[in-house]
Amino acid sequence: MSVRILALVGSLRAGSHNRQLAEAAVKHAPEGVTIELFEGLADIPFYNEDVDVEGSVPAEAARLREAAGQADGFLLFTPEYNGTIPAVLKNAIDWLSRPYGAGALSGKPVAVVGTAFGQYGGVWAQDETRKAVGIAGATVLEDAKLAIASSVVRFAETHPADDAEVVADLLKVLEQFGSAGTAAA
């Protein structure tokens, strides 16, 4: 069995360490696991029920929902902005939570990981993200955690894909999808 995981990165910065962490997950995904890095979160308008009606959904939001609908699970990468989740990632969760009770996240496993400059690696943002996707109907993989502290120092000269400890930790997170019944045994 193959597993399709959609990766969403909550940082829009070109040199984002969270984007690099997502690239490492794509590069080192185990056999049978495909990770698609979604491009375009910056282009999705803020969620608004007035435009979330059949025939009026913005094309960028519809593209996100289509990609999410084809995914077996989600891997969310979040930095920490002022102690919480970045708006672009929260907006994606809002779009994916609708229609209420039947959104693209409903019942699908989600793991939240990330890296941040601070000493705790963005755990507050990760906790807030887990809370939001859980309320949105996803199955939060509570044991799939990875918070990498001091990203500016840690990844100053080494891409996360070339950091053996980071790769091993990412693989442990991906194993949790198997425990959730989405990956091949």
pLDDT digits (tens, 9 = 90+) for 29-54: 999 999 999 999 999 999 999 999 98
Query: Which tens digit of pLDDT belongs to each residue from 120-158?
Result: 889 999 999 999 999 999 999 999 999 998 888 889 888
pLDDT given for residue 181 in this prediction: 64
CA distance 58 to 95: 11
DSSP state of 139: E
pLDDT band, residue 113 (cuts 50/70/90):
very high
Query: Which tens digit of pLDDT belongs to each residue from 57-104?
Result: 999 999 999 999 999 999 999 999 999 999 999 999 999 999 888 899
What torsion, rounded to 10 degrees, do the Cα atoms 150, 154, 155, 157 define? Answer: 140
Q: 3-state DSSP call for residue 144? A: strand
Would you call 59 exposed, middle or buried from its count of C-beta atoms within 10 A (0-12, 13-18, 19+)?
A: exposed
pLDDT given for residue 185 in this prediction: 35
Q: What is the pTM of this model?
A: 0.93
State the fold for domain 3-179.
Rossmann fold (3.40.50)
